[in-house]
Structure 1
Amino acid sequence: MMTRKLLWFLLSITLLCGLLFYRVTYLPRFDFGRASIDTLGNLSTHELSNTSENGSKRAVIPKLAVVTCGDRLNLTLMNVKSAVAFSRGPLHVLLFADTPNTDLLLKELAKWPRKVRQRITIEVRPVIFPGNCSKKWKSLFKPCASQRLFLPRLLPDVDALIYVDADVLFLRPIEDLWDMFNQMNSTQIAGLSPETEDYTTNWYTRFARHPYVRPLGVNSGVMLMNLTRMRQFNWDSRLEPVLLKYERNISWGDQDLINIIFHDHTDKLLVFPCQWNFRPDHCWYGPTCPKGTPAILHGNRNAFVEAKKEPAFKLVFDTMSKYVLGTSTVEGFVAPLESALKKMSTTYCRKEFLKHVPGWRKIASSIDELRLHEHR
């Protein structure tokens, strides 16, 4: 009798261990609620540095934040897909999503190849608008867009991150953008790119009815956020007074509020090149971002969704949609993109993208070589 009970006990333990092994090895890791520090690798208030306290080198894991509400699901999926495709190493992704999109996000991300999922940690959080003006914040400009304003408050244990709008595609390693944190001086708390480089078409110089970062304003679609310094700056307490004072004068929601705050605190802002926030404005009427190969495409004004807006941007998005994660970025993304660009009708943006294909191919080749080395 005892022998039979012992056998059943050992069999139960074996089955339980097998299930746990399957769960850890084969299922994607999605963190809910607060980040698990153990899964992210030695995060601390020193996480911007690649040197530990004893002076030894250690890997720094970039953190990417994206917000998904309403019909932005597919944009977000391609956004994160591009960041993973072009990243050199592990990546921590924080996704803020409304209730309808949460399960859909997890379902789609779980379809990614296991070898890809092993390189990333994805944390899903609900969209939250704290304070007395939560309804105003939620409906400000586009649905949930103002969530970025509250990240210093909502992520008290996170030192820094890169926030990007859902309609963004990475075409260069996110690690290169993360390195810009090290270019900040001791007073700077955030990094943004200019709204445009062209005075004649710049919206802020012609139409703004509120203060903005001189001379051209800044675009908030890609934002380096040193959350620790933003909290020290009392960022959260500045938001509501600015909203109540200027809500009748702003057109671009949270972006305008960011411009208003940094107008009076330009010493707190790092302005980085337009190649890290390349938008249709930079090529619609001719090239206005001459500072290198576009590293991030920002398909604002539905440029990734509506072909009539700017077909070259839609083409890049469609090519990324067809790309299979884990395969060659040269053969699976850059080559078909170049072929499709050559076949489409001529636009200024199409000409600009064809000019930069060699640069994208060089970047993709380095990523492919890195992946090949990892699997040897």
Structure 2
Amino acid sequence: MVVSRDAKKRLLLGIALMLLILFLFGEPVHKTKLGLRIYTEKEILPVFIIIVCDDNKHSQTGSFSRQMNQVTVLLKSAACLTNETLRFLVVTNSDDVFEQIKSIPSAWPNKYKSRVELESRSVWYPPDREDMRGLLRPCSSARLFLPETLWDIDAAVLVDTDTLFLRPPEELLREIYKFNASQAAGLAQTSVGYHHRRIPFPKPRGVNTGVMVMNMTRLRALPAGWTGTTLKAFDDHKGKLTATATNDIINIALGQNIEIYYELDCIWNYGPGACFKGSNACPNAELTGVYLLHGTSAAFVNSRNVKFRAVFEAWLHFQLGSPLTELLDDVKRRIQADTSAKTRCNRLSSLELMFTKSLEKLCGK
């Protein structure tokens, strides 16, 4: 059969049109305003990132031991409360550090071991920017370059090691489904505030960078990439940065690209700053309970924030496989037992309710 030239053209045009329709509307991916593909809801796997580094100076001190205890509680709370298998990427500069972290689940019951997958990833800094390694704690500034460091990851949540879960962790990652077509980074507002600073920041108070829900694909697709964006923020405002320079840089980057910012509910990043004035700065925490507790400024171990420390120590001593009600009862007992510190946070009567309400729901109470 002889096919005319016009018929061939129509056939090729039809095939091209079908391919275009599949690309634009087909599953499992779809287009966004930024022209990027993102996975459909059920295809985003729970990926979490922690950054833990050894700088020799701190590895043999109490501060490193404290951090290992915090990592233990973070992983334990995640494994206890999740209904899925969670992938934790450990961004580090040391094989020894990763081996220590990898050994944490070894004593857990098999049921919980299988819920956490640990994978080591190397810290990366842009060439000729080694000067940024020393910002804040060892390797803390590595968060400024995560989308390029973890180039194969589409969506993930960064959590500081001084955090612990009071709700299933996968629910935090699913905040990404609430992003509009431009948003790429979800962070909670800080309670302390940047309003007195002469730098850009997401209004009204700026953000806390200890918990970051990230669409990594969109961050990489920014005109300068996420790394280029954060480097520019650093270079342009170097003289205005404080001791928490990493936080400052991310606030500047988001403040200058406000369309990519998604405001994460403060229940997913509740720290001492939310109650230090003697009142609760996160109203939803009283309605739902706190979902993620953040022990900033050593709140999990110091003698001032005893109610934060009570929750942390209850998790530290909790044996996986025991009834969750035992954990709940221990949290309440520890909170009520220590009334020595008279800080404004500790005098806040609703704090115990906020720290236990989510666990009570999970216990069916």
TM-score range, shorter chain: 0.7 to 0.9
* 1:357 Cα deviation after fit: 5.2
The answer as to whether partners of 1:165 and 1:222 remain within 8 angstroms in 2 is: yes
Q: Kindly indicate whether residue 201 of structure 2 is the aligned counterpart of residue 209 of structure 1.
A: no
Q: Kindly indicate whether residue 189 of structure 2 is the aligned counterpart of residue 194 of structure 1.
A: yes
When residues 357 and 212 of structure 1 are mapped into structure 2, their CA distance, relative to the original with a 3 A threshold, is closer
- Aligned residue for 2:267, secondary structure, equals helix
Q: Kindly indicate whether residue 228 of structure 2 is the aligned counterpart of residue 237 of structure 1.
A: yes
**AA partner of residue 355 (structure 1):** L
- Aligned residue for 2:296, secondary structure, equals coil
Say which of 124, 129, 132 aligns to 1:128. Answer: 124
Say which of 27, 47, 71 aligns to 1:76. Answer: 71
Aligned ranges for residues 89-108 of structure 1 at < 5 Å?
89-99=84-94, 100-108=96-104
- Partners of 1:210 and 1:358 lie apart in 2 by 37
Q: CA RMSD in A?
A: 2.4
When residues 247 and 109 of structure 1 are mapped into structure 2, their CA distance, relative to the original with a 3 A threshold, is farther
The answer as to whether partners of 2:51 and 2:160 remain within 8 angstroms in 1 is: yes
Aligned ranges for residues 257-268 of structure 1 at < 5 Å?
257-268=249-260
The answer as to whether partners of 1:64 and 1:94 remain within 8 angstroms in 2 is: yes
The answer as to whether partners of 1:287 and 1:348 remain within 8 angstroms in 2 is: no
The answer as to whether partners of 1:189 and 1:226 remain within 8 angstroms in 2 is: yes
* 1:269 Cα deviation after fit: 0.5
Match of 1:319 in 2: 314
Match of 2:241 in 1: 250
When residues 48 and 83 of structure 1 are mapped into structure 2, their CA distance, relative to the original with a 3 A threshold, is farther
Percent of paired sites with the same residue? 27
**AA partner of residue 98 (structure 2):** T
Match of 1:7 in 2: none
Q: Kindly indicate whether residue 152 of structure 2 is the aligned counterpart of residue 162 of structure 1.
A: no
**AA partner of residue 236 (structure 1):** T
Q: How many residues align?
A: 310
Gaps of 5+ in 2: 1-27, 31-35, 55-63
Q: Kindly indicate whether residue 284 of structure 2 is the aligned counterpart of residue 291 of structure 1.
A: yes
* 1:281 Cα deviation after fit: 1.1
Gaps of 5+ in 1: 1-41, 52-57, 197-201, 369-376
- Partners of 2:41 and 2:313 lie apart in 1 by 36
Deviations 1:62-121 (A, max 9, x none): 111011124122222211221222112211111112324222212223232222111221
Match of 1:280 in 2: 272
When residues 48 and 306 of structure 1 are mapped into structure 2, their CA distance, relative to the original with a 3 A threshold, is farther
TM-score, normalised to structure 1, is: 0.77
- Partners of 2:51 and 2:310 lie apart in 1 by 23
Q: Kindly indicate whether residue 107 of structure 2 is the aligned counterpart of residue 111 of structure 1.
A: yes
* 1:223 Cα deviation after fit: 0.4
- Partners of 1:154 and 1:163 lie apart in 2 by 13
Q: Kindly indicate whether residue 352 of structure 2 is the aligned counterpart of residue 342 of structure 1.
A: no
- Aligned residue for 2:357, secondary structure, equals helix
- Partners of 2:230 and 2:194 lie apart in 1 by 20
- Aligned residue for 2:363, secondary structure, equals helix
When residues 347 and 88 of structure 1 are mapped into structure 2, their CA distance, relative to the original with a 3 A threshold, is farther
* 1:303 Cα deviation after fit: 0.6
Match of 1:356 in 2: 354
